Amino acid sequence: MASTFVPGASFTAYYVFRIDSIGAVSRILSHLGGIVLAVNSEGVLRMGGSNTGISGGTVIPSRWYVFAITFTGTTATINFNDALTTSTALTRGANPGYSSLGAAPDGSTPLFGALRDVIFYPTVHNTADRENMVAALRSWYTAA
């Protein structure tokens, strides 16, 4: 089985996160095999590789979100805010560096918020599996 952190390896990952304030870059994940996930200073969720950036939508402070990415080795499929956001070609960085959650590996651009769940699978989840997992992860914060 290929490692999730090897450039070109397939994987599926899920994140449940909250951003507490907008105005500075808030990094959720750094260098997952060359992929970065962050909320920019305008509150837009951004995910990117070595030469590709994908916008996932705008976040509202203090609200919980589920973000899912399936990467096939060449294409990333993104679910954010309960909807398929995009499916696009994505080039992961050749030098993935150190992986980190909640900040860049050097401690810069910290997460101004919280991570509740981070789940990695070294496999590609199909649309139905991804939607079921997103619904299950959402269920804890949408319960009455």
Q: What is the mean pLDDT of the chain?
A: 79
Task: Kindly give the parts of the chain with pLDDT less than 50.
Answer: 1-4, 144
What distance in Å separates the CA atoms of residue 31 and residue 5, rounded to the nearest whole number?
8
Parse the chain into domains and list their residue ranges.
11-113+125-142
pLDDT at site 119: 92
The CATH number that domain 11-113+125-142 falls under is: 2.60.120.200
The tokens for 124 are 């590609």
What distance in Å separates the CA atoms of residue 143 and residue 102, rounded to the nearest whole number?
26
Q: What pLDDT, in 10s, does the model give residues 109-134? A: 788 899 999 898 989 999 899 989 99
Under 8 Å between Cβ of 115 and 28: yes
